[in-house]
Structure 1
């Protein structure tokens, strides 16, 4: 006999909408480095429907803190969903102190994912806490025979995500501030990518200046780039209008139209650079 949750999932699938906020069980909470935590919870719907770069909302148990915190999914294992985040405020501190068996309210998956439909060498360029959504992209590409995933990660210091990327990516390249940045790695990798004769597509997530620099680098080489924006969100589903950014089409809500935008949509490609120069 189907459970109430199963019926909810079936109804959501038929109607084409995401199930409402619900309570899930925590499976594990692990500190990866000082101030960076990996949290895993169990949720059938998110695990089977989330796509790379989509995010989930976590809700504080404190009724005085109404707005959720959005987190990109980093990995899925069966019905288990993992997130990696930095402890930077009240909400993330609360989540970091949860333990296996505790519960938390979630909503998702939300947002527009990366497009992985083309056969290509996907170069996953991440900086700091922008890396987690790229781990799920690598996981999704693992079973695509005609595509490869090449991780290019930049860290401030500790390389906290390489061990997870290595499970799925064909290659993992990382660097910290003492050695250079992601553009340093891209320059090293470009000759081999260019000589392969295969299409190269960049997927990137991280600080905005980094992504803008990556988009410029890609545009100069005729490489398509998809950027997952890290704008601060309130509600996470288009109601509060707190996460708008400028695009070629005007102001867009990152939580609804994004978080993934192409470099062209953002005006970060060669055409956009020319237009800005002429303005």
Structure 2
């Protein structure tokens, strides 16, 4: 399933802070300098960040958002003491990192990709849009849903072929998917399969965000005969398969989100069959 199977990851090491800014209340964009991560991080892979408090043993995993030279960026919500510490990092500070970890999206196929994200599920999709911007045979349409502030649009629009976003006052990502289908003259035929685009490329959905949102996206895709790659969010104790905290039930048995994912084809995920 994955485009990238990690065979080597350098040990935990300090990375220097390049920038730390608050995009909106409680949402932070953090840029770090680490040439290995910047060179090797594939869309939907993540990195572990470690706090300087020795009593907080577990790292915090964050999906890589963008890469530029030897710098990579993260985007995260401040939800506890660990992320509160990272919020106050300043240029020149260092923070211990480990990565890149996990399996990323499979982007090998020339296709029309729909990147459907909600809330703080958007960073891996921004990285996917960045990667796809270099693929001559593919397009990327970003569909983002927010609670209120559209904090990631400016970053995704750097790379996406098209971008549409919505907040709770207007609807949700299913609203955007229906709108996209209508705008492109796309509809399910009699047997439920989505009519292919004029150029003959397949449409593939990549999604990341709240579980309920991703299940709804998967159901929408199933109704239209599309495949979905979902980057799952899970509580992780280690991030590299040792603690067995982040298990997920699949058609292949119980797997670990951190090493077997975080990206899974939703057809493999148990309990995702219910319609929206």
TM-score (normalised: structure 1): 0.90
Give the distance between the partners of 2:86 and 2:213, measured in 1 at CA: 28
Partner of 1:235: 238
Superposed, which structure 2 residues align to 1:18-33 within 5 Å? 18-33=9-24
Partner of 1:196: 197
Runs of 4+ in 1 over 3 A off after TM superposition: none
Partner of 2:176: 185
SS in 2 for 1:104: strand
Q: Is the 8 A contact 1:19 1:107 kept in 2?
A: yes
* Pairing partner for 2:227 from 197, 220, 224: 224
Superposed, which structure 2 residues align to 1:1-279 within 5 Å? 16-191=7-182, 192=184, 194=186, 196-197=197-198, 198-267=201-270, 272=273
Offset, 1:268: 6.3
Residues 148-195 of structure 1 show CA distances to partners (whole Å, capped at 9, x for unaligned) of 010000000000000001100010100000000000010011141736
SS in 2 for 1:108: strand
Q: Is the 8 A contact 1:244 1:254 kept in 2?
A: yes
SS in 2 for 1:159: coil
Give the distance between the partners of 1:109 and 1:155, measured in 2 at CA: 27
Give the distance between the partners of 1:46 and 1:193, measured in 2 at CA: 41
Give the distance between the partners of 1:176 and 1:245, measured in 2 at CA: 29
Residues 100-142 of structure 1 show CA distances to partners (whole Å, capped at 9, x for unaligned) of 0000000000001000011111000000000011000000000
Q: Which has the higher helix share?
A: 1
Please list every run of 5 or more consecutive structure 2 residues that lacks an aligned counterpart in the other structure.
1-5, 187-195
Partner of 2:190: none
Cα RMSD for the two superposed structures: 1.5
Give the distance between the partners of 1:273 and 1:64, measured in 2 at CA: 42
SS in 1 for 2:47: strand
Q: Pick which of 158-167 and 197-206 moved more.
A: 197-206
Offset, 1:273: 5.2
Partner of 1:9: none
